[in-house]
Structure 1
Amino acid sequence: MAHVKAGATTKGNRDSIGKRLGIKKYGGEKVIPGNIIVRQRGTKVRPGDGTKLGKDFTVYAIKEGIVKFKKNMKKLTVEVNQV
């Protein structure tokens, strides 16, 4: 009797889904209060004028205006300027 034994299963090759992180509104785009500008882990991008930092490090707008990214002293900040 020719039988084929069952092959071993693999358990270590699963992958988690993407978390949809990154910049959601780019420089020059118009935002209203509550719009998410950046979703991130940690403070890669810091909040500036017209923005706040959420508890999951999300940077969001608190006033209406145009998004502007600034880099100084190796720190990237995002701010919202009034129109």
Structure 2
Amino acid sequence: MASKKAGGSTKNGRDSNPKYLGVKRYGGQFVQKGQIIVRQRGTRIHPGWGVAMGSDFTIYATVDGVVKFHERKGRKYVSVIPE
């Protein structure tokens, strides 16, 4: 009589879906109003001039222009310089 004891369950075997975070437009690139520049969790990069931040901390352009990343008082900022 062949028999097999019941196997124990494992606590592994699951994974979360990718969130596609990060910088979408880099310094020197031209962006149009409404285009996403950075997708992030929390304010790793703060909004500067010509950009706004959404409720999920996404930074997007409010004017047409060129992306500029800069640092001030130990904080990273992103701005859009109109052209």
> Normalising to structure 1: TM-score of the pair?
0.91
Q: Structure 2: which 5+ runs fail to align?
A: none
- Give, in angstroms, the shift of residue 7 of structure 1: 1.8
Where do 4+ consecutive residues of structure 1 move more than 3 Å? none
Structure 1 gap segments, 5+ residues each: none
Q: 2:54 and 2:20 mapped to 1: Cα distance?
A: 16
For residues 14 and 31 of structure 2, the distance between their equivalents in structure 1, rounded to whole angstroms, comes to 38
Match in the other structure for 2:76 = 76
Q: Which residue of 2 aligns with 1:48?
A: 48
Task: Report the count of equivalent residues.
Answer: 83
TM normalised by structure 2 equals: 0.91
RMSD: 1.2
1:7 aligns to 2:7 (yes or no): yes
Deviation at 1:15, TM superposition (A): 1.6
